[in-house]
Structure 1
Amino acid sequence: MTRSYDKTGRLYPFCRDCKHQQENEMSHGLFTSLYEAGKPFALIDCRERRDYVAGHWFGSTNIPLSLFSNRLRFLFKTPDFPVHFLDWQDAASSEAMHQLVAFGFTDITCHKTEKPSEMGRGFVKGEYVWSKAFGEVVAHQIDLPEITPQQYLADYQDAQLFDVRPTAEYQDFTLPNSQSLPNSLLLANVAALKGTGKMSLLHCAGRTRSIIGAFTLMASGYDGPFAVFRGGTQAWQLDGHEREHNANRLFAADHEATDAVAGFLRRWQIPSARVAQDAIAAYAHENQSGLLFDVSDDAATGQPLAHGIIKISGTNLIQQTDRSIARYHVPVTLFDQGSGSRAAFAAFWLRAMGFIVNIVYLDAPLEPTEATNPAISHKGTMHDVVATAGLDQWQKDGVPLYDFRPSPAFNSGHIANSQWQNISAILGQKPAATSVAIIAACTITGSIICDCLERHGWQIAGLYIWDDGDNEPKTMATGGLELPLDESALFAGRHHGVLADARDYLAWEEDLPAEIDTPIHDLWCALLSSAPKLD
């Protein structure tokens, strides 16, 4: 059964869109039906990351209740966008529905859902499943050449190894003697790659990004020898070998390979245009209903820029598509500088997945901004914030300190006698008999937590917004949390020497095409069968 709400949060007496859906069907086929309708939509799952990764409906976007204030403003431009909400019939889902209305969303359709009896048929586990499943479909359909670690050691040690992840990840760990060549710079370095005269083996930590790189080379018309290093660093460890840390061999150069990139765009008929610096604001306004990304910096992680543009690594944008793109059937614009190689690479992949994409060349870098999206704002009351003196008084009075910051922040430093809490988890608990003090990362999130708990019967002593400089080291502690609710527990040790996790992770990736919605799998196969559009 589907429920719909008006802009005040009142339940409609019947479903506007899917009133004939049977309860026992739950959410099987929901994403496919929305996608095939061809209209803009988002499908939201509000559970915390650990639960979402353990099992979710393919195509849904995870916006955990604990991150609503940040993620909603990152993923949505306006509150009138059609949102389809997965209702898990628990307190956290009810609160998330309340918060969507409080943030001003006016077009919400609520779908009752639950976990099916078994995985498959669109109910999948893992993160970034949209991109990873697509990568595996590519590998299965295109017959990419692959070299195993054993084959490399026996027959290909004269080949060159290239790590196609962003350079920061490469420097953390990589294969011995590997060089850094991020996927986003492949098109700018095709000539240099061929000029080595050697076999090129592309790898990542697992499979997806090496597949992305190899298919990009194939799509560019590259005629030098290359292959995927099957399983990447995880397969290397599974065979008993050590990774290299702190490597700094940078093959990639940000060449102005204008002709090569222009030829690639013509070949695949990817539209592009140059927009003058003083015309960017007008362009962004005219395209405000779409997704606007600046992919000119491989180290970017989603920073806000002027005019509602998000700065993000193009490599990670396409490898983590369902984290960065919640809205389907809306046009995507990729901004880039120089030759546009980063945007061309990302545009090719996004379009292959079914997105409508165009490229805009910039004459100069876009300006960062501290402003959040003003169109998505919370209608609740902002709570007063106490200073450090108030925090000290709470500790003297024995008031319980509940720290609601994300678990990585808590682990890196927290008040020694505070307790880590998560809003989704605490809603299932009985309110404390005495007042509790709230610690949060920002005023908006903290006020939302205070309001939520008060509505559920909790007594709130006050709100403190965390500042690293406020507290003396002697009052602080670190660590204390293992596999918290807001972090993934699936294959968690795969990069930390837990070989069973690495083995299971690689098997999970390869099996994904059989787990996703069949119509989406077939659509991707059809898109991949399209011949390149030659000059």
Structure 2
Amino acid sequence: MTLPLASVSAPELRQILHSAGEFALLDVREQEEFSREHVLLASCAPLSRLELLAGRLVPCRETPVLVMDDGPDDRLGRAERAARALLSLGYTSVRVAEGGLAAWKADGGVTVNGVGALSKGFGEYVECVQETPRMTPEEVRALMDDPATRSIIIDVRPHNEYRRMNIPGSVNLPGCEVTYRLAEVVTDPDIAIVINCAGRTRSIIGTQTLLNAGVPNRVAALKGGTMNWQLAGFALEYGADRPVPASTPEGRRAARERVSRVAAAYRVRFADAAQVARWREESAHRTLYLFDVRLPEEYAAGHLPGARSAQGGQLVQATDEYAAVRNGRYVLVDDDELRAIMTAHWLVQMGLPQVFVLRGGLEAAAPVLAPHGLERGPEPAPDARGAEAGLAPAEVARLRAETPEPLLLNVGASDQHRR
């Protein structure tokens, strides 16, 4: 006998979204559907991958979880199926949004489009309220060509994105590395700094990060990023192998002076290892996210058990992809607090009420939080599986040579399938 599922009406859902308690709203449609229209505070957790994503997005099984699909027109009944799947995984408080997205809109609820909408909307807010300087591609090109002006272009995207395409001659300082390693690439306050990403949000946040840190240089964001640069008719570089510049003791000292002012100005909070250990003990009843905001290669060299790799800029850029639970605890970890502070000061401004920096950094906390040693290696993909239950490539090739040829189904993301 199938037991009925608990539900939540659109008006009740609105109250929950404005509440101070923990909750997670999971939109269980596919990402393409999600990107066309969704509720702002929802995280995309497609039914097709729900079991793989749920533990990362909602680590505490007691967190109230709300699931949503299209509503009456969703012939697959994905919300109900997702709710039962979550219950089978041990989640104890799961409710289906009555009428789905259709009921939300009928009740006057607002929807947004795109991915990372919350973070992107926050970036637009920052640019408007803090009047973040920006320059058009033509203005940046003129600046670069002016022999009387020294300038540098800093690309704040992750290194894999930078390597894919970048503005020729630019330097890669991903996310919060732009403050942490700035002294390694900008040695004079008279050098003009242009910050770019692929589009807008990370350029805005990177620029304002330097301004918040009190950098004396002229700093501006490239309007529209590399996409706008190319549309303006300027060349891009592909496959650049320039690494992220190594940090130095002198550079870290300069960064510490600036970052300490940011910590005070934005009232960044800290938690020592003993406090985080207590929160770990409570994590079966209250959400705890432990995010390592260093570069992925630093994370792979050694990280705290249970910590997820979320280099600072990406955690701000795509918060909903890392953490679905609102009002949970976020603890940010790095070597010496500096990058964690810069990440935290943005998450605080985004309205997340429980954001903390691990006091003293990784080395100071390791004896308490990693008594058996740090874990090593990259963070495994959520759908990583061994090959023991599958077919080897040679076996697949042999089967494809037979008649009739087998039907091969790729259940991965559509863009990856096309590539």
TM-score by length of 1: 0.63
How far, CA to CA, are the matches of 2:118 and 2:213 in structure 1?
23
Matches within 5 A, 1:66-465: 66-88=48-70, 89-91=74-76, 92-111=78-97, 112-115=99-102, 122-155=110-143, 157=145, 158=149, 159-191=151-183, 193=186, 195=188, 197-249=190-242, 252-255=245-248, 256-257=252-253, 258-275=256-273, 284-286=280-282, 289-298=287-296, 307-337=305-335, 339-355=336-352, 356-360=354-358, 361-363=361-363, 366-368=374-376, 385=389, 401=407, 403-407=409-413, 411=417
Q: Deviations over 1:64-116 (max 9, x none)?
A: 11211210122222322100111434313333233122212220111122458
- Which secondary structure state, in structure 1, belongs to the residue aligned with residue 95 of structure 2? strand
Amino acid at match of 1:171: R
1:452 alignment partner in structure 2: none
Checking the alignment, whether the CA contact within 8 Å between 1:132 and 1:319 is kept in structure 2 is yes
How far, CA to CA, are the matches of 2:279 and 2:53 in structure 1?
24
Q: 1:31 to 1:94 in 2, by over 3 A?
A: closer
TM-score by length of 2: 0.78
Checking the alignment, whether the CA contact within 8 Å between 2:348 and 2:355 is kept in structure 1 is yes
1:431 alignment partner in structure 2: none
Q: 1:134 to 1:410 in 2, by over 3 A?
A: closer
How far, CA to CA, are the matches of 1:393 and 1:249 in structure 2?
43
2:369 alignment partner in structure 1: none
Q: 1:410 to 1:225 in 2, by over 3 A?
A: closer
Checking the alignment, whether the CA contact within 8 Å between 1:298 and 1:315 is kept in structure 2 is no
Checking the alignment, whether the CA contact within 8 Å between 1:179 and 1:248 is kept in structure 2 is no
Q: Deviations over 1:326-383 (max 9, x none)?
A: 000111101111x3222112111111101121111110683148999xxxxxxxxxxx
How far, CA to CA, are the matches of 1:196 and 1:163 in structure 2?
19
Matches within 5 A, 1:460-475: none
Identity %: 26
Q: Deviations over 1:243-296 (max 9, x none)?
A: 1123345574434334443333233221224538xx976663355632111112
Q: 1:9 to 1:243 in 2, by over 3 A?
A: farther
How far, CA to CA, are the matches of 1:396 and 1:130 in structure 2?
50
How many residues in Structure 1 have an aligned counterpart in Structure 2? 380
1:519 alignment partner in structure 2: none
How far, CA to CA, are the matches of 1:330 and 1:238 in structure 2?
41
Checking the alignment, whether the CA contact within 8 Å between 2:65 and 2:94 is kept in structure 1 is yes
How far, CA to CA, are the matches of 1:198 and 1:369 in structure 2?
38
- Which secondary structure state, in structure 2, belongs to the residue aligned with residue 162 of structure 1? strand
Q: Deviations over 1:136-195 (max 9, x none)?
A: 111111111111112223345432111111223222211122111222112324555362
Checking the alignment, whether the CA contact within 8 Å between 1:295 and 1:314 is kept in structure 2 is yes
Q: Which has the higher contact order (CA 8 A, sep 6+)?
A: 1
2:24 alignment partner in structure 1: 42
How far, CA to CA, are the matches of 1:240 and 1:387 in structure 2?
47
- Which secondary structure state, in structure 1, belongs to the residue aligned with residue 92 of structure 2? coil
How far, CA to CA, are the matches of 1:104 and 1:188 in structure 2?
41
Checking the alignment, whether the CA contact within 8 Å between 2:297 and 2:378 is kept in structure 1 is no
Q: Deviations over 1:195-241 (max 9, x none)?
A: 25211111111100011111111221223211111111111111111
How far, CA to CA, are the matches of 1:139 and 1:409 in structure 2?
31
How far, CA to CA, are the matches of 2:304 and 2:217 in structure 1?
41
